Amino acid sequence: MSEKGQKVGKMFIVGFGPGSEDHITSRAKKVIEESNVIVGYTTYIELVRDLIRGKKIIYTGMTEEVDRAKKAIDIAKKGNTVVVISSGDAGIYGMAGLIFQVLKEDGWRPSYGLEVEVVPGVTALSAVGSLLGAPLMHDFASISLSDLLTPWEVILKRVEAAAQADFVIALYNPKSGRRTWQIVETQKMIRKYREGSTPVGIVKSAYRDGQNIIITDLDHMLDFPIGMLTTIIIGNSSTFTYEELMITPRGYHNKYELSMKKMALEVPLAVPE
């Protein structure tokens, strides 16, 4: 109930993970089940089609995020249980921030009125990292190359700072039909600070139809197809490849003997009662 005693609904801002049903969290599935209205970008709705049968669906296009947020809030305020879906994690380049901004403009307070819950999901960098091996084992920076909402100078400054500080770098939104030169400038900037042989992983459509995994290096990364459904991970100065894997060491090898031939302790295999 709101302050004025009106019935208000609930809003869940849900990340459904990279795309496959196996990687959707149980909480996400549960709140989708409990909801009666789903709001989301058309492609995302298609990905969760099996979970949302029988619910009211509000489809919107990619560039209609603000309208989508307002619409979702309006419907929830009328007493519905609304799920707003984003791919990956809704709080990482997803819908969560925008919804809170609109709610703030609307004078919303968490203590009364609309109940809002953000449901975390497996973000692209976790999904992509798992397919590449273990590239994110040390400090990393995540940078979106989309300059639709952020000025390019700001993005490039962040790329430079991350490259200089030897962070592993995960690139979201690396390229689209219209945004093609940003990835070229980014590669050039990182190359100023890192060897051309630095491992680079390029993954398209992780855990979705059309999944494609490429491991290459900084000098050759632009020779491969990169698009809207791709996330790129650029290693730091210690990242190495082994077989078809990309691994960033965490320093164990400096402190411990990693050979299987040298096991100091007998690790007991305990079975819980």
Residues that bind ligand SAH in the complex, under the rule CB under 6 A: 15, 18-19, 86-89, 92-94, 123-124, 127-128, 172-173, 203, 205-208, 228-231
In the complex, minimum distance from the CB of residue 111 to ligand SAH, in angstroms, rounded to a whole number? 28
Closer of 73 and 124 to ligand SAH (Cβ): 124
In the complex, minimum distance from the CB of residue 255 to ligand SAH, in angstroms, rounded to a whole number? 33
Looking at the chain, how many residues does it have? 273
CB atoms within 10 A of CB 151: 9
Closer of 84 and 203 to ligand SAH (Cβ): 203
Contact 60, 75 (CB under 8 A): no
In the complex, minimum distance from the CB of residue 96 to ligand SAH, in angstroms, rounded to a whole number? 9
In the complex, minimum distance from the CB of residue 42 to ligand SAH, in angstroms, rounded to a whole number? 14
The enclosing H or E element of 262 equals none
Closer of 113 and 172 to ligand SAH (Cβ): 172
Closer of 8 and 119 to ligand SAH (Cβ): 119
User: Roughly how many angstroms between the first and final C-alpha of the chain, as a whole number?
Assistant: 46
Contact 198, 234 (CB under 8 A): yes
In the complex, minimum distance from the CB of residue 150 to ligand SAH, in angstroms, rounded to a whole number? 13
In the complex, minimum distance from the CB of residue 3 to ligand SAH, in angstroms, rounded to a whole number? 33
d(CA 78, CA 6): 9
d(CA 132, CA 129): 5
In the complex, minimum distance from the CB of residue 211 to ligand SAH, in angstroms, rounded to a whole number? 8
> What would the DSSP string read from start to end of 39-102?
EEEHHHHHHTGGG-TTSEEEEE-TT-HHHHHHHHHHHHHTT-EEEEEESB-TTSSSSHHHHHHH
d(CA 167, CA 191): 13
Give the residue nearest to ligand SAH (CB): 88
244's CB contacts (< 8 A; 6+ apart) are 213, 215
Closer of 80 and 182 to ligand SAH (Cβ): 182
Closer of 35 and 123 to ligand SAH (Cβ): 123
Closer of 87 and 248 to ligand SAH (Cβ): 87
